[in-house]
Structure formats: C-alpha cells, structure tokens
Amino acid sequence: RKEVEQDPGPFNVPEGATVAFNCTYSNSASQSFFWYRQDCRKEPKLLMSVYSSGNEDGRFTAQLNRASQYISLLIRDSKLSDSATYLCVVSHGNEKLTFGTGTRLTIIP
C-alpha cells in the first residue's frame, strides 16, 4: 500500500464549478500535511498547509481528519488557471516529505 494515496483523475470540470480532491495516508504518526500544486514539467509549489481545524484560503479549503487519516481539498468557483496536478504531501516531523502521485485537474471553459 502506498504511504499517500490519491485518485489520479483526471478531473475535467467546467469553469465556475466546485471540485473536491481526497487523499489518504497510512502512517498514523504523520504530523504535517500539505497540498502542493504542480504545473506540467514544473516544480511543486505550496498551495496550503492542512490543519485539524480546517483552513481556508480564498477559494480553497483544506480539511484533515486524523481519525480516518484523510485529507481533502475543495476548490470553489474554479478558474482556468486552476488546471494543474494537485499533490497531497505528508511529513512525519523529520523534514522528509512524502508525496502522493497527484490528482490531475483540467478546468474546461
């Protein structure tokens, strides 16, 4: 079983729609959680950290459920520029990051 699992997609979503991604992790000792965004052939860029209380940044909302070892990302009012691969990333507190394979999102005009 992979340490971080995501639905690879692709998700093809019309502009303006709401889309949600899920991610599960296997190591219950994981301490830090992130969503990164990666555009084609580019480096990953931090989208947001994920906290147990949930956090929101503009159109993006992230949730963490430690009991279920589950992380989610919600994108509201999707824009064409949101098209990218979204990476679920987990850290065990030793600075090493473990990446999921990513969920590919395409926003359709």
Partner 1 sequence: GAVVSQHPSRVICKSGTSVKIECRSLDFQATTMFWYRQFPKQSLMLMATSNEGSKATYEQGVEKDKFLINHASLTLSTLTVTSAHPEDSSFYICSARVHLNPYGYTFGSGTRLTVV
The residues of the shown chain that bind partner 1, judged by CB under 8 A, are 4, 8, 32, 34, 41-46, 49, 87, 95-102
Residue corresponding to tokens 């000792």: 29
The encoded tokens of residue 91 equal 């850290």
72 class by beta-carbon count within 10 Å (0-12 exposed, 13-18 middle, 19+ buried): middle
- The 3-state DSSP composition of the chain as helix, strand, coil percent (nearest 5) reads 5, 55, 40
- Which of 43, 68 has the CB closer to partner 1? 43
The minimum distance between CB 39 and partner 1, in angstroms, equals: 11
- Which of 42, 79 has the CB closer to partner 1? 42
The minimum distance between CB 47 and partner 1, in angstroms, equals: 12
The minimum distance between CB 84 and partner 1, in angstroms, equals: 14
Count other C-beta atoms under 10 Å from residue 56's C-beta. Answer: 12
- Which of 44, 75 has the CB closer to partner 1? 44
